[in-house]
Structure 1
């Protein structure tokens, strides 16, 4: 699985953190990107976020805790860093995360479709 040493910091660019989180999911739940309903994706929701959709029926915090990555949720792009009280700042962070996750999902779907087309 991931190495804490290689993990991006919580202040690293959003795309970098999300890419690391996506690679982590590639190892933990191959084909995870096929489970995401992009129109439902809501990073601020425990059931509609990436983790909530991939691991259906399991709350976000419980699943991250079970995977031993709850302390790194912001580093992996699954949540925003702590310490923000402003709704507009938090909303902006969640939107940035969603956009980055959609890019990762679309890249994986396109690659999988290309491979399937050659079979």
Structure 2
């Protein structure tokens, strides 16, 4: 018997049960220290007027690029691309933004390592069953 579900060894589980367990795991990850730190940094980013101004300016410039591309105006596209690069550098040079970007990497690493662990464990179980 499995202690966690009182199911006899060898009983099969359905897709819905697997998805429910995945939801439980997702909730655990969402409550992790990494996720909490990420949410706090995201809130700081959202509340920072200067950062939001830069983000909005970049988005506006990206829309301008799309418009000029549709007109075939490569000169303006190049000019606006340079303006975006300047805005992006200013944004990237803000310590809070760099911290947020690092936290995004950390969260992605946590998710990727979780997916990798599940994959490795399932593969190991399948190998054992074949033996």
Provide TM-score, normalisation by structure 1: 0.34
Larger relative contact order (C-alpha < 8 A, sep ≥ 6)?
Answer: 1
User: Which is higher, the Rg of structure 1 or of structure 2?
Assistant: 2
Query: TM-score w.r.t. structure 2 length?
Result: 0.31
